[in-house]
Chains A and B, each alone.
Chain A
Amino acid sequence: MTAPAVAINGLTKRFGSALALDHVSLEVQPGEFVSLLGPSGCGKTTLLRIIAGFESPTQGRVSIHGQDVTDLAAEQRPTNLVFQRGALFPHMSVGMNIGYALRLRRWSAVRIAARVEEMLALVRLEGMRDRMPGQLSGGQSQRVALARALAAEPKVLLLDEPLSALDLKLREQMQLELRAIQRKLGATFVFVTHDQTEALVMSDRIAIMQGGRIVQTGSPQDIYRRPNSVFVSGFIGQTNLLRGRIVGQDGARSTIDVGGVHLSAPTLPGMAPGDAAILLLRPEALRLRDPGRAEVAGCALEGRLTDRVYLGHCVRITIAGPGGIPLFADLREEEAEGLNKGDIVALVWAASSPILMKEDFA
């Protein structure tokens, strides 16, 4: 088997007394698009800057395609970085910016010119070669930054929230473009973001970071459907968390008492009756009770409707669940028709929808 494109092994980084990274290990395969996702301060940017060579780890090693680069300076590493705000050289034209790494590598002028045109075509900026960075829009700047970082064919491209300064519409368009470029080149991308949608849209694999650790790695579906902690479930998408206690177990299914109501969920190995547990329900998994359809015992709740919000693609209703805790459900518009504040609403869900979890760090 070939060596991973990036192999991070037991990486720890301290800034004074603060622990920015705590024994982080991660492998990125060649051609893979991996996102480092987490709230600000979780250590994702520090991890990226260590891979790029701008910070040195307190402990641990970084290898790229089997070569240990931990002690190499940034300019000697086969990685390139796309900066958050582009960091285009303001005194150089677009073409000069894109060709900078090639001039440093002493390519001939002819080859550089050809490569610059190729990169401009890749990021769809043909004809912009002689513009100055000050004359570019935000989206164009980030495209030039991408072209500049890709020009010298780095083994791994690192991206530090490159779309975060753009407005929503442009950001969504750029996400798809970036993804297409990565596919086309078959390049390895490591992408840092705090935006969960962005990570879901673009990545082959997502590594969720919290407090200097990677808390879960997996495909977007894995992470969304099988979060391994309350933190992950909350970070990816809206969730309903129902706290209770396991009161019965019947092989594949457990019964949980939530504020006096007994609910059913797939058993989580290692949890036994008497344990405190959390039941996770995604709002879009909830449906209105339909008298014409059979429902699974322990997969339904009733409560008074306290709020309804029109979100465009759905209607989000809130009902007072067991013990009064709010429970969100995303219903189709026609489904929610006729529901008013104060109505008693019954919600049901598929037997496979609920996920049983332990309290984080319990």
Chain B
Amino acid sequence: MAPQDQPLVASAASLLPAFLVYAVLLVIPLAALFVLGFWRADGFTLIPDLSLANYQRILTSGLYRDVLIRTIQVGMVTAAIVVPLAFALSYVMRFVLERRGALILQLVLLSLFSGYLVRIYAWRTILGKQGLLNTTLQYLGLIDEPLDFLIYSQLAVVITLCGLLLPLAVLPIYSAMLNVSDDFMEAARDLGAGFWQRLRTVLLPMVLPGVTTAFAFAFLLSAGDFVTPSLVGGMQSTMIGNIIADQFRGIGANWPLGAALSFVTIGAMMTACLAVVGLLRGVSRC
């Protein structure tokens, strides 16, 4: 056997199984879904076709457009709450509490494992008409009648999504801040930069990739969620995910329409996401 130039157990072949999984279970299915978007459905039978009818129907229908806009709105509002909150929390963990930061991170991440469905369900329990919040407020005599805008509303959807996504936004920002040495902050202070100046001119540019990742997580995952709106949202807070899901597991399912809707949604979400990322870059440059 000839001596090897590649290190031992880790030849390029060890990448193969994982990338095979990705090819077969991700790339090919997405391609299949894309193709399906040009087919037609007749009841439960799928008819191969090459028509833009599904896309036409989506782009001309007011319903889909409204839901899509609402979905992007919910995603943006959620991200706009979650990212600054995650930034502040990370800052406190990294620069104020320092050594206990790692422990807090563990605690924050652990909350992720309280169960995705369960947490959404628990928020229904908290925000419900006879839920924890309303009964507590009534018990304390602060309100007479239960507040009915707390549940089955856009507000409920946003609160729940914030709870779901905050840990995922903290992770990249905190990791990025771990790589910012105290020296930089001290140097900035030494040179006369005040707190906000240090934050904007030194810290933010250095952790920008982390902030961008956090934003992408928060926005894409909240806009793509369909479980939250269907459990805590009302009639008026249907999101695009619900409509797509209904095309695959619901009465009046229409796979080709759902497929086309998926790609329109991905396109809209990517555009919105990239626009904000570009904006963030621009802000931190000056």
Let me know if B179 is at the binding interface, CB within 8 A.
no
Let me know if B4 is at the binding interface, CB within 8 A.
yes
Q: Which of B1-57 contact A (CB under 8 A)?
A: 1-5
Contacts of A53 in B (CB 8 A): 3
Interface residues on B, range: under 10
Contacts of A54 in B (CB 8 A): 3-5
Are A73 and B1 in contact (CB-based, < 8 A)?
yes
Let me know if A71 is at the binding interface, CB within 8 A.
yes
Are A73 and B5 in contact (CB-based, < 8 A)?
no
**At the interface, is chain A mostly helix, strand, loop or mixed?**
loop
Are A56 and B5 in contact (CB-based, < 8 A)?
yes
Size of interface on A: residues with Cβ below 8 Å to B: 8
Closest to A77 in B: B3
- Measured in the bound complex, the distance between the Cα atoms of B5 and A54 in whole Å is 6
Let me know if A72 is at the binding interface, CB within 8 A.
yes
Contacts of B1 in A (CB 8 A): 73
Interface centre among B2, B3, B4 (most CB of A within 10 A): B3
Let me know if A55 is at the binding interface, CB within 8 A.
yes
- Measured in the bound complex, the distance between the Cα atoms of B4 and A73 in whole Å is 7
Let me know if A345 is at the binding interface, CB within 8 A.
no
Contacts of B3 in A (CB 8 A): 53-56, 71-74
Closest to A69 in B: B3
- Measured in the bound complex, the distance between the Cα atoms of B4 and A56 in whole Å is 7
- Measured in the bound complex, the distance between the Cα atoms of B3 and A73 in whole Å is 4
Q: Which of A304-326 contact B (CB under 8 A)?
A: none
* Distance in Å: Cβ of A83 to nearest Cβ of chain B: 13
Contacts of A74 in B (CB 8 A): 3
- Measured in the bound complex, the distance between the Cα atoms of B8 and A74 in whole Å is 11
Contact with B along A31-68 (1 / 0, CB 8 A): 00000000000000000000001111000000000000
Q: Which of A151-176 contact B (CB under 8 A)?
A: none
- Measured in the bound complex, the distance between the Cα atoms of B2 and A53 in whole Å is 8
Are A55 and B5 in contact (CB-based, < 8 A)?
yes
* Distance in Å: Cβ of B87 to nearest Cβ of chain A: 38
* Distance in Å: Cβ of B9 to nearest Cβ of chain A: 14
Closest to A52 in B: B3
Are A71 and B2 in contact (CB-based, < 8 A)?
yes
Contacts of A71 in B (CB 8 A): 2-3
- Measured in the bound complex, the distance between the Cα atoms of B2 and A5 in whole Å is 21
Q: Which of A251-267 contact B (CB under 8 A)?
A: none
* Distance in Å: Cβ of A60 to nearest Cβ of chain B: 13
Contacts of B2 in A (CB 8 A): 56, 71, 73
- Measured in the bound complex, the distance between the Cα atoms of B5 and A56 in whole Å is 7
- Measured in the bound complex, the distance between the Cα atoms of B1 and A74 in whole Å is 10
Contact with B along A123-146 (1 / 0, CB 8 A): 000000000000000000000000
* Distance in Å: Cβ of A239 to nearest Cβ of chain B: 38
- Measured in the bound complex, the distance between the Cα atoms of B159 and A218 in whole Å is 78
- Measured in the bound complex, the distance between the Cα atoms of B1 and A71 in whole Å is 7
* Distance in Å: Cβ of A225 to nearest Cβ of chain B: 39
Closest to A76 in B: B1
* Distance in Å: Cβ of B42 to nearest Cβ of chain A: 57
Contacts of A55 in B (CB 8 A): 3, 5
- Measured in the bound complex, the distance between the Cα atoms of B1 and A301 in whole Å is 63
Contacts of A72 in B (CB 8 A): 3
* Distance in Å: Cβ of A158 to nearest Cβ of chain B: 14
Contacts of A73 in B (CB 8 A): 1-4
Closest to B3 in A: A53
* Distance in Å: Cβ of B4 to nearest Cβ of chain A: 7
* Distance in Å: Cβ of A131 to nearest Cβ of chain B: 27
Q: Which of B166-214 contact A (CB under 8 A)?
A: none
* Distance in Å: Cβ of B203 to nearest Cβ of chain A: 34
Contact with B along A69-96 (1 / 0, CB 8 A): 0011110000000000000000000000
Contact with B along A271-292 (1 / 0, CB 8 A): 0000000000000000000000
Q: Which of A200-248 contact B (CB under 8 A)?
A: none
Closest to A72 in B: B3
* Distance in Å: Cβ of A76 to nearest Cβ of chain B: 8
Closest to B5 in A: A55
- Measured in the bound complex, the distance between the Cα atoms of B5 and A55 in whole Å is 5
* Distance in Å: Cβ of A61 to nearest Cβ of chain B: 13
- Measured in the bound complex, the distance between the Cα atoms of B5 and A71 in whole Å is 12
- Measured in the bound complex, the distance between the Cα atoms of B3 and A55 in whole Å is 6
* Distance in Å: Cβ of A269 to nearest Cβ of chain B: 43
Closest to A57 in B: B3
Closest to A74 in B: B3
Closest to A56 in B: B3
* Distance in Å: Cβ of B74 to nearest Cβ of chain A: 50
- Measured in the bound complex, the distance between the Cα atoms of B3 and A125 in whole Å is 34
* Distance in Å: Cβ of A177 to nearest Cβ of chain B: 31
Closest to A62 in B: B3
Closest to A15 in B: B5
* Distance in Å: Cβ of A45 to nearest Cβ of chain B: 14
15 contacting pairs across A/B (C-beta < 8 A): A53-B3, A54-B3, A54-B4, A54-B5, A55-B3, A55-B5, A56-B3, A56-B5, A71-B2, A71-B3, A72-B3, A73-B1, A73-B3, A73-B4, A74-B3
List 5 additional A-B contacts (Cβ < 8 Å) besides A56-B2, A71-B3, A72-B3.
A53-B3, A55-B3, A56-B5, A73-B1, A73-B3
- Spell out A's residues near B (CB within 8 Å): 53-56, 71-74
**Which 10 residue pairs across A and B have the least CB separation, nearest first?**
A53-B3, A73-B1, A56-B3, A73-B3, A55-B5, A56-B2, A71-B2, A74-B3, A56-B5, A54-B3
